[in-house]
Amino acid sequence: MGLLDGLKEKFEALLGRGSEAGPVGAAFAAEAADAAIVEQVLDPAFLKARLEDVKAGGTGKVPKEKYEEMFAELDRAQASPAVGANPSQGGQAYLPRSPEVSMLQSTITDCITSRVEQLFEPMPPGHHSFGEFLLRETEVFRKFGPCDAGWAETVISQGIADLEGKSGFLDGKAPDVGIANDARLVVVGDWGTGLPAARAVGKEMTAKVAEAKKAGREVHVLHLGDVYYSGWKEEYKARFMPYWPVRSADEGVGSWALNGNHDMYSGGKGYFGYLLKDPRFAGHRGSSYFCLQNSHWQLLGLDSAYIDSDLAGSQGEWVAGKQRGSARKTMLLSHHQPFSDFVEVHPRLLEKLQPAFDVRPVDAWLWGHEHLCCEYGPNPESYLRFGSCIGHGGVPVLLDYEGSGSGERKHYPLTWRATNAETRDEHRWQMFGYAVLDFDGPGIDVAYYDQQGGPAVNTARIE
């Protein structure tokens, strides 16, 4: 079984119907197009072949050296035992840390999903497998309107231009927003794939929002960042907005979203230009960093992606100022991890926060970026009392996969790690999930849930 159950199952069910697939296909196709991620787009070899098509059919809009960088990245990925489109290729979905290759994934996915109806009507005889179906896609890729090489090259070149002219970072305007002393905060990370299990997480979070409202609690929902592949507005529209637990600004539920590296692979155009302009996210006032505070806590949402694994603008001083200026406990929220038991970490983020740590340690820090969920042991670092990664909202990962880090790295004791899994074809796929924080005066009750609903899979108390 590949990574993208929903779409694949639909295709396979459809293909199993043989020559009668045509009319049935249209019905499946409409749903399949929503699934919005295609397995082959996670396969470096498939991407490389498509990039060759783009280069051969393009008009040189993408500079030669960019093509070389992209081919080199795809060669590295193809050689890596860690990443790919399915378990035979690696334990993690291939989500490159290359803006250009992410753009290629966005472009090809858009092409495929926008043509799904045509692709299904009618299925030619002799096409019985998903793989054969996607070989046929090559033809479509070459011949049809928005899927042709010239178009793909134009989109990628526009993306490269966007990267160079990133959306403006609004500095020094972080809002201070009051929240109730007994507020609920629902937190999910790396959720923006729109996969069926990510939608299930969305549904579960919606239930937790409703439960809090019913109990008369103020409630907020926070995304820790990353809408795949490149954070385009269209990707937000397809994979994020339809499943976000807050349907309207009138519900009185706060919506918050951190910037992630994948959001910046389109220069932040979707994040700054679309998401933060949505009325539900009006509390941001256009700023990608912000403070939520009550009598006991200040929650500082940071932008660690505008500059990758770093803090753009005056955020470092801002956090230090908050540490100095208030006796409230401090919780940091960021896309990137401050440290990890699983991978090596870039030191820049911590360097920028050293002045804040010099004032006093922070009481809690929640982050995503790694596609797993764990609670670290107490006081994992001198600057921190409680740390937890909540990055398992929507990216398929094999549970037995032990990270891609190489070389020496520090290890940390874990209090808990999410290990609920779905077994398919002898592989254990980690369940997607999220966390609920219930503020209780000076303490916070944390409960971790997975996509299946049911009771919490872990609880913790932050004092």
**Which stretches of the chain bind Fe ion, using CB under 5 A?**
226, 260-261, 369
Cβ 457 to Fe ion, closest distance in Å?
23
Q: Where are the beta strands (DSSP E) in 308-450?
A: 329-334, 362-367, 373-376, 384-390, 414-417, 421-424, 427-430, 433-440, 443-450
Point out which residues pair with 445 in neighbouring strands. Answer: 438, 461
List of residues 6+ apart from 268 with CB closer than 8 A = 166, 167, 231, 259, 306
Cβ 329 to Fe ion, closest distance in Å?
27
Cβ 306 to Fe ion, closest distance in Å?
13
Cβ 241 to Fe ion, closest distance in Å?
19
CB 381, CB 336: distance < 8 Å: no
Cβ 391 to Fe ion, closest distance in Å?
7
Which of 284, 286, 226 is closest to 260 using CA atoms?
A: 226
Q: Which residue is nearest to Fe ion (CB)?
A: 369
**Alpha-carbon distance 329 to 331, whole Å?**
7
Instruction: Report the residue number, 84 or 189, with the smaller CB distance to Fe ion.
Output: 189
Instruction: Report the residue number, 260 or 396, with the smaller CB distance to Fe ion.
Output: 260
**Alpha-carbon distance 133 to 136, whole Å?**
5
Cβ 261 to Fe ion, closest distance in Å?
5
Instruction: Report the residue number, 100 or 153, with the smaller CB distance to Fe ion.
Output: 100
User: Tokens at residue 136, please?
Assistant: 């046929």
Q: Are β-strands 83-84 and 92-93 bridged in parallel, bridged antiparallel, or unpaired?
A: parallel
Instruction: Report the residue number, 87 or 192, with the smaller CB distance to Fe ion.
Output: 192
Angstrom distances, CA of residue 404 to CA of 91, 347, 396: 9, 18, 15
CB 224, CB 99: distance < 8 Å: no
Q: Are β-strands 362-367 and 329-334 bridged in parallel, bridged antiparallel, or unpaired?
A: parallel
**Strands ordered across the beta sheet of 219-223:** 254-257, 219-223, 184-188, 433-440, 443-450, 458-462
Cβ 443 to Fe ion, closest distance in Å?
30
3-state secondary structure of 57: helix
Instruction: Report the residue number, 230 or 287, with the smaller CB distance to Fe ion.
Output: 230
Cβ 203 to Fe ion, closest distance in Å?
23
List of residues 6+ apart from 184 with CB closer than 8 A = 208, 209, 212, 217, 218, 219, 220, 436, 437, 438, 439
Cβ 335 to Fe ion, closest distance in Å?
6
Instruction: Report the residue number, 134 or 395, with the smaller CB distance to Fe ion.
Output: 395
Cβ 267 to Fe ion, closest distance in Å?
16
Instruction: Report the residue number, 261 or 330, with the smaller CB distance to Fe ion.
Output: 261
**Alpha-carbon distance 225 to 227, whole Å?**
7
Instruction: Report the residue number, 315 or 323, with the smaller CB distance to Fe ion.
Output: 315
Cβ 310 to Fe ion, closest distance in Å?
14
Point out which residues pair with 108 in neighbouring strands. Answer: none
3-state secondary structure of 373: strand
Instruction: Report the residue number, 36 or 264, with the smaller CB distance to Fe ion.
Output: 264
List of residues 6+ apart from 321 with CB closer than 8 A = none
Which of 346, 392, 348 is closest to 367 using CA atoms?
A: 392
Cβ 230 to Fe ion, closest distance in Å?
12
Instruction: Report the residue number, 2 or 260, with the smaller CB distance to Fe ion.
Output: 260
Instruction: Report the residue number, 48 or 336, with the smaller CB distance to Fe ion.
Output: 336
Instruction: Report the residue number, 58 or 301, with the smaller CB distance to Fe ion.
Output: 301
Tally the residues of the chain.
463
**Alpha-carbon distance 10 to 309, whole Å?**
38
